[in-house]
Every structure is written in structure tokens, then in C-alpha cells.
Amino acid sequence: MNNLWTDGEAARFADDTGMGLRVYSSQLLGREPDLVLHGGGNTSVKIRQENLFGEPEPLLYVKGSGWDLRTIQAAGFAPVRLSHLQALARLEALSDTQMMQQLRVALTDPAAPTPSVEAILHALIPHRYVDHTHADAVVAISNTPDGEQRLQAIYGDEVLILPYVMPGFILARQVQQETTSLDWSRYKGIILLHHGIITFADDARTSYDNMIALVSRAEDYLHSSKAALAPVSASTIKLSRTDLLQLATLRQKASAELGQAVLLRSLSDAAAVGFSQLDNAAELIGRGPLTPDHSIHTKPFGAVFTGDAEACLQDFAQSYQAYFQAWAQPRHQCLDLLPRFALWPDRGMLALAANAGALTVVSDICSHTLRTIQWGEALGGWTTLPQQDQFNLEYWELEQAKLKRNAARPEFAGKVVMISGAASGIGKACVEAFVAQGACVVALDINADIDNLFTHAAILTLVCDITDPQQIEYCLDAAIARFGGLDILVCNAGVFPPSARLGELPDALWDQSLALNLTAHRRMLSQCLPFLELGIQSSVVFVGSKNVAAPGPGAAAYSVAKAGLAQLARVAALELAEKGIRVNTVHPNAVFDTALWTEEVLQKRADNYGLTVEEYRRNTLLGCEVKSADVATAVTLLAGQSFSCTTGAQLPVDGGNERVI
């Protein structure tokens, strides 16, 4: 475990309050996925501040709900009255709902985020800085038959080891009872079995250093016990077209099970493939998660996928229903029956989720868990908490309350969109529009700069010349492996060749335009069709041109290719309707914020019409300037449910053009 603290970097954060270094060391912890994953862990600092009446008041600034340690800022810490939290800890009983209400009551700033459920625990520790992580190495050792004894041997009297209890008030009460007469100066930390590790100190660096040092000792133990060598690695594998179609089928049926589009990711790296080849892999994924907190994201066990989607989902549903019935009380509402991860024997693992963010969380948790399972096996056997404890966390009062909140789901959440020509202009605007509405996007462009344009987790960027069938196949394979299927295809890539009248038109220019503006899109549609047929409310949108209805002299190569594209779209609409796939076309014109329209070209065109550039930009019937975002809006509308009864449409997006009308 590398210690990332540097004095130079810390000096840029330091301030008189201590909050700056709290932010800094929290970010250091968040940078290390072996300590915390996706919003996990929490940190705090105790600060005395003057209240409105000029009286000094001790406050606990604790990580707020919804913030990630990796990127947290000062605004992510909730200021809570320390005395109120300490008084709550003295209560004999407090429901989690009551606890969360009281945490809000204790806030000094009502606009602050909701304090961490561990706020009371942080308040009880008499040190200024408190760090809490779910370190893989520490929790993995505790998930063995004699985990507590092993941890005691590693740390001796330097840490307090406590048995697992539910987070929140119950955990705070446990710590209070166990530390009533504790000499805190003797300890560097607390280990919560099957949960995580807490360190503390009166300065930020010491608390952080203690965390790194204690976790490093657990890692050293794994190495000295040869357990760290346990994870089995195999070669990565290339999924066949049959494999990919099986994944798309599983995603389609999983979406039907959940009643909304879901995403699926194939984890086929060497470690996942190696795990999937273990003889008892199916049994191992049924024993329980690394820490019960993960079950909120992954459910406590996974499914097994052998190529039969229906069997995989039915078997999991039956197992989950039996699990629920074994531990549920009348107050519990059963969660959905969809697995969040699955073993794919000999091929790796699968992650399933309702949106891109959740898919990343499940994938990362799965990868970390596979490794720690094998550590545990090497130390005598992967032994997690009893299933009832896992159930109690998954069906925690606070989690059940979330079911009653009807948060609006973006229209394209769980949908997968492939867009060609995505590096600029209309294509780039389409990427941004679909992602803004919840979609995952596979962004293709021949321009290698595509890889530097987008950093969003929901966007897979791929360099692709769509006139090359092999490159299309490669990109399609990557898309299915990353997101599990394909629902929407936006055929946008194109080129406007130099003007040339028919008698002077070079064959090469003609052939190039037909190859890119027409033939490539026909080929792309054909290659995507098997996956679109397995998609969720599948749709295709072609980006045509005003030249289809109103061509101009010198533009034969472009106009004929786009006219052919329009006819292709009409035939596709006729042929694909029986498969439930809608096909529509937008016809933009004079979209000036694209690479085609340089200032030089704009000036030349404006001069040709005797207009200023600004007048030329608005030379439409509506007097408006058409932008790429306007075209993207039309594309998303045609692809979405607003036009669910529309196919074969040809929609102009041109501000009104007399020749088209």
C-alpha cells in the first residue's frame, strides 16, 4: 500500500481550520480502490467554530451522503453539532430513520449534504481526524474461519478488534460500550470484522499514515502466507459472435425481467477468466460478498450463465426468492429478482445494472471480490457473514425507504447507442444529447482525436473507418462486450466532396462519396441488425441532407449518395418494421457549427448571395440559425418513445427552406 502523502501537495491544501488537510487526506484515501470503492468509506474532522451568537461551538465535519472520497471537496462535509451526536450515542435505542432525522436536525447548515450514517461513531472517537475504509486486505483476512485470530496476531495490541454489527446507531453503541474505559492513546485503529478499518489521530497526516501502515501489514501477511499469489490468472479470451449474441439475448431477457432497459458488461480480463475456470467457482460466488455493504449494489450472491439466458435468470430468481422468504419480516418489500453479477464458466464474469454508473460500481466490486475470495480460500476458506446478516444489510431500513422514492428515470437510461462520425458537429452533439438523457454511447470516428473528446463512463470511444467492414465488426464486438447490446444506431458519418459539375466529376470523387455516404451505412446497418433485433425498443436514425429534396449544381456526388441513403432508410423501414425496429431520417441544412463550414467557406457563400455572414447564417424561412444541437434534438426524439409510432419519416431540420417545402 503506497503512501501518497507529499508535503508539497499537502501545503496547497493546508489552512487554519484543518479542513483543507481533511479534504487532502480524504482524496488520497479515495484514490486507492483497494481501500474504498465508489462512495465507500467516510472521514471526518472536529473543528471549533463560532456560531451566530459569537460562541465557540465544537462541530464534526463528516463526509456527506452522495460524495466520493476520491473527488470530495470541503462542500462535501456536513457540519454537525458534536454535542448532539454524543447525546444520541447515549440513547438505549434509535431507529435508523430516527437517526437520519436527528442527523439533519443537528446540522448547522440546512443546505449541507446529509451526514454519513457513521457520524455518531466518528463523534465518539476522541481524536480530531477519523478515517474509515473498507480495505480489501483487512476484510479478506477477517473473512476466513480464524480471521479474528489472524488479525490479532498481525496487530497485537495496536488495534481494537470488534465483531460485526449493523452500521449506523448499532455500531456506534457497540463502540461506545467497548471503549468506555479505553486508553485511546494505546491504539492506532479499530478493525470492524467483515466491515473495515478505522484509524484516527489529532493531525491528518498521522491518521492517514496509520491507515496506510496498518493496511500494508495486512497485505504483507497475505504475501508471507502465499495467499497473495492465489488469484488465478489466465489469458484473456476473444468472444465469438455466438458468445456476443448470447450476451445480447441475456440482456434482452434481463431487461424484460426488470421491466426496463439494463446494461451488461463482460469481464473477460485475465483475472476474471482465471477465476471462471476454477472448479468450484459457482459455489464460491454463492458464499457472500467481501463486505455486506456491497450487497446493496450486487446482491449477496450471483447467477451462473452457461449460454441459456432463461435458465440463468429463472434459477437466480428461484434462489433469491428462497433467500428472501427465509429471512424476511412482514415489513420487508422484496427487491427485484435480477442478478447483478454472474459467473460465465471459462469466459469470465458478467455485470448487470440499470445505468452506466451502477454498471461501473458492480464491475469494480466484482473484480475486487474475485481476488479477495481467492485470498480467503488460500487462508483456509472464504467465510463470510451468516446469510441473515447479509439480508439485514441488503434490506436495511434506510435502503427500503429508497423504494418509496420515485426518482425520474432518464428516457434512455439503460439504452445503448452507436453513433458514427461522433468526433465533431452533429455526431458529437448527438453523443452529448443521448448521454444527457441517460444512454450509454459507442462513439465512432475515423479521427483519432475521438479518444480525447469524451471522458464520461457512459461513452466508449473507438477509432473506426466505417468503409472498412473489419473495423465495424471490431467496434461492434467491443460495444457488446462493454454494454451488452445495441438499441439505437445513428448513421451520421459522411463527407461533402469538392463541388464538380457532371462533365468534370472525377470517378474517384464519385466513388469516395458513394462508399462513405451510402455503402458504408448499408454495411453498418447489416452488421448491427442481429443485435438491434435483440435490442430494447430498437431504432435507427439516418442523418441525410437537404440535398435529397433540393440538390444543387456541382453536388452530384453528394446529392446522389444522400438520395440513395434516403431510399435505403425507406426500404429498411419497410423490412424492419416486423422486427419492431423503427427507421427514420433527419435532413439537416446549413448547420454552420460543423467542420465543413469554415469562416472562409461561410464568407464565400454569403458573398455569393450578396449577404453578410450573419445574414447568411439566418437565411431561413424562420430566420433562425440551425445548430448541431438542434439536429441532435431531432435525432433523440425520433429514436425515443415520443415517436414510438413513427417509422419511415423524413424530417427536415433546416429552419425552413423554400425549395424543400
CA distance 264 to 250: 8
- Out of 24, 61, 558, 616, the active site residue is 558
CA distance 59 to 47: 5
CA distance 223 to 226: 5
> Is residue 473 a contact partner of residue 240, using CB atoms and an 8 Å limit?
no
| Adjacency order of strands within the sheet including 129-133 | 77-81, 56-63, 42-50, 129-133, 196-201, 189-192, 159-162
H helix intervals, 156-307? 169-178, 204-224, 241-258, 270-276, 281-284, 295-298
Using H for helix, E for strand and C for coil, what is the string for 304-363? ECCCCHHHHHHHHHHHHHHHHHHHCCCCCCCCCCCCCEEEECCCEEEEEECCHHHHHHHH
How many other CB atoms are found less than 10 A from the CB of residue 370? 27
558 is catalytic: yes
Q: Give backbone dihedrals phi and psi of 355, rounded to 5 degrees, phi first.
A: -155, 170
CB proximity list for 526: less than 8 A, separation 6 or greater:
none
Residue type, 174: Q
SS3 482: helix
Look at residues 103, 143, 499, 490 and name the one whose alpha carbon lies nearest to residue 287.
143
| Adjacency order of strands within the sheet including 263-267 | 263-267, 348-353, 341-344, 303-304
> Is residue 416 a contact partner of residue 479, using CB atoms and an 8 Å limit?
yes
Look at residues 245, 182, 46 and name the one whose alpha carbon lies nearest to residue 127.
46
Look at residues 331, 388, 400, 369 and name the one whose alpha carbon lies nearest to residue 96.
400
Look at residues 290, 289, 288, 277 and name the one whose alpha carbon lies nearest to residue 232.
277
> Is residue 255 a contact partner of residue 261, using CB atoms and an 8 Å limit?
yes
Residue 201: CA count within 13 A, CB half-sphere: 15
Beta bridge partners of 341: 351
Among all chains, which residue has been given the C-alpha cell 435525432? Answer: 635
Q: CA dihedral defined by 216, 221, 223, 225, rounded to 10 degrees?
A: -170
Catalytic residues: 558
